[in-house]
Amino acid sequence: MTAGRKEEVTVGTWQVRWNCTGIPASVARELFRVACSLRILKEIVHYQSSHCMKDTYDVIVIGSGPGGEGASIKAAKSGKSVAVVERYLDVGGGCTHWGTIPSKTLIHVIQQYSELRSSRLFDKVIRTLKLEYHELMTMVDTVVEQQVRDRQGFYDRNSIDVIHGEARFLDEHTISVREHEGNDRRYTAEAFIIATGSHPYHPEDVDFDNPFVVDSDTILTMKRIPETLTIYGAGVIGSEYASAFRGIGIKVNLVNTRMRMLEFLDDEISDALSYHMRDEKGILIRQNEEYERVEVLDDGVILHLKTGKKIKSDALLWANGRTGNTESLGLETLGLESDQRGNISVNAQYQTTHPHIYAIGDVVGFPALASAAYDQGRFVATHIVEGNCEYNLIKDFPTGIYTNPEISSVGKTERELTADHIPYEVGRSFFRNLARGQITGKTTGMLKLLFHRDSLELLGIHCFGQNASEIVHIGQAIMSQPAPHNNIKYFITTTFNYPTMAEAYRVAALNGYNRLF
C-alpha cells in the first residue's frame, strides 16, 4: 500500500475504501486492516440482526431512497409495522450514494475551489494549488457517510426493520429477498411500496466497461481528472456536471440532443444559461446533435455525431436519460409491466393495478425529483393508513438546477402563458443592481416574476443566479396561497431586510407593477 492515495479491498461481499493521504505507509496499512475488521464486524452484526427479524409486516417498502424513507417513516409513526428492503449495505439509495447528495457536494466543493482561484485576495497562493480528484471525493465521501448515519438513525428511532438484499415478488402479498450471504428469505405484507429509483440509461452499442466512458454514477469513481471531457446529454445532470468540471479548468464539450438548453425552462432563463456557459465559461455547446457511435482509443474517446462531426476528448460522460430499477422485481408474476424506460404505470394515488401495491419516485417517471419522491412517499403511506388522503400533492413543484450560477423555477413560463392566452405581465430584478449582489460579487443573474395583469396573481417565478434554489421558495409560499392572498402587492408592501438577495422580490414586483396601465 502506498500512502497518499485511496486503496480498495474486497471484504466478504463488500468493497472497502480507505484514504491514506498524508500518513506513512506503515500506519496506513494498520489502519486499513482495522477498517477491514470493523467492516467484517458490521457484516456479522447485520447477519445476526437479519436472522432475528420477523417475516410478516403491515407495510414493506422496497428501496430506502427519499420516497422509501418518507413512506416508511410516515407508516411507522401511524402505528404500522414496517420493513424496508435495501439492496445495498447502507441505506439512502441512489440519491445518497450516486445522485443528488454526492453530485451536489462535488459541485459545491468545485465552486469553492473555483472562487478561491479567482480571488484577488489570495492570487499568489491559490493559483499555484493543484486539486486531485481523490481529494475532491474525500470531501464528498464525508457528506455521504454523514447522510447514511442520519438516515439509518431515522429507521432505528422509528423501529423500522431494514432488510438488506434484492427483493423479488413471488405473489401479490409475498416477496423473496436474496440476502448478501446468498440466502433467500420470504416476507409477507398487507401493502407494498415500490421505491426502487432509477439508474443511468445505457445504449447497447456504447462500451461502459471502458474506463474512458462513464455515466452519472461511475463518474464519481474516476481515478483522475481528465484534461478534456465530452458530455453527451445537456439535461439537468449533463448541464450541472459541465458547469462543475469547467470550474476546475477542464475543457468541456456539451452535446445537446435538443434545439435549446433545458427546454422546460422559461426561454429567457434557458438563453441566459446557454450564454453564460458558452461565452462566460467557455464550454463548447453543440445543439440538436445525436450520436452515431462511440469510438474508444488508447488515449481517449471519439464521439461520432450523425451530422459527420467528431469530438475527441480524454473521457466521455453519458448523461442522456435514466431507466427505472424494475428488471429484477418479478413484476411479471403480478401481471405488471414497465415501459421501455423501466417506469411503472400508476393512478393518481400511485397505485398499480393491484390497489395494495404502490410505486413512487423515479420508478414512475416524471418529475423524478428527490423532493417530490419524499412527498409521494408520505402521501402513499397516508393513503394506506387512512384509506384516502385529504391533501393533494402540489402541481407546481419547484425545480432546482445546480449549475454555476444556479437556476430554479416554479409555475408557468412565458411560453405556456402565451399558449393558454392568459394576459400576464413581467417583473424583473437584476442581481447586478442589488446591494447584496454587489457586496458579495455575485452580480450574475436575475429574478423574474410573471403575474396576471388583472388579478395580479403570481403565475410563475424564475430565478437565475447565486442561491436561486433558496430564493425561489419565498415566491412559492405566496403563489401557493388562495386568492386574494396570492398577489404581487405582497412583495411591494412587505419590508425586506437590507441588503439581501430577497429584496429582489420587491424590485421585481415594482418593476412589473409599473408596467400596468
User: For the purposes of burial, counting CB atoms within 10 Å of the CB of 395, is it exposed (0-12), middle (13-18) or buried (19 or more)?
Assistant: exposed
User: Pairing between strand 445-452 and 213-215?
Assistant: unpaired
From CA 400, how far away is CA 272, in angstroms rounded?
Answer: 16
| Of 462, 457, 463, 466, residue with least CA distance to 491 | 457
- 431: Cβ contacts below 8 Å, ≥ 6 apart: 437, 442, 443, 444, 445, 446, 447, 465, 466, 501, 504
From CA 417, how far away is CA 424, in angstroms rounded?
Answer: 7
Name residue 345's beta-bridge partners: none
- 147: Cβ contacts below 8 Å, ≥ 6 apart: 92, 96, 101
Q: Please give the pLDDT value at position 388.
A: 84
| Of 103, 109, 436, residue with least CA distance to 447 | 436
Q: Please give the pLDDT value at position 36.
A: 54
Would you say the C-alpha torsion 235, 237, 243, 245 has a positive or negative sign? negative
Q: Please give the pLDDT value at position 52.
A: 55
Contact of 286 with 256, CB cutoff 8 Å: yes
pTM of the predicted protein model: 0.85
From CA 463, how far away is CA 405, in angstroms rounded?
Answer: 10
Q: Please give the pLDDT value at position 33.
A: 59
- Supply the DSSP string of 42-111, one letter for each residue: HHHHHHHHHTTS-SEEEEEEE--SHHHHHHHHHHHHTT--EEEEESSSSSSHHHHHTSHHHHHHHHHHHH
Q: Please give the pLDDT value at position 133.
A: 77
3-state secondary structure (DSSP) of residue 310: strand
Residue reference for cell 402521501: 379
| Of 516, 486, 492, residue with least CA distance to 504 | 492
pLDDT tens per residue, the chain (517 residues)? Answer: 333 444 444 444 444 444 444 455 555 555 555 555 555 545 544 444 445 568 999 999 999 999 999 999 999 999 999 999 999 999 999 999 999 999 999 999 988 888 777 776 666 665 566 677 778 888 899 999 999 999 999 999 999 999 999 999 999 999 999 988 888 999 999 999 999 999 999 999 999 999 999 999 999 888 888 999 999 999 999 999 999 999 888 999 999 999 999 999 999 999 999 999 998 889 999 999 999 999 999 889 999 999 999 999 999 999 999 999 999 999 999 999 999 899 999 999 999 999 999 999 999 999 989 999 999 999 999 999 998 877 777 778 899 999 989 999 999 999 999 999 999 999 999 999 999 999 998 999 999 999 999 999 999 999 999 999 999 999 999 999 998 999 999 999 999 999 999 999 999 999 999 999 8
Domains along the chain with CATH numbers: 1-52 (no CATH), 55-201+321-396 (3.50.50.60), 213-320 (3.50.50.60), 405-513 (3.30.390.30)
- For residue 187, give Cα distances in angstroms to 60, 90, 163, 191, 253: 9, 20, 10, 12, 49
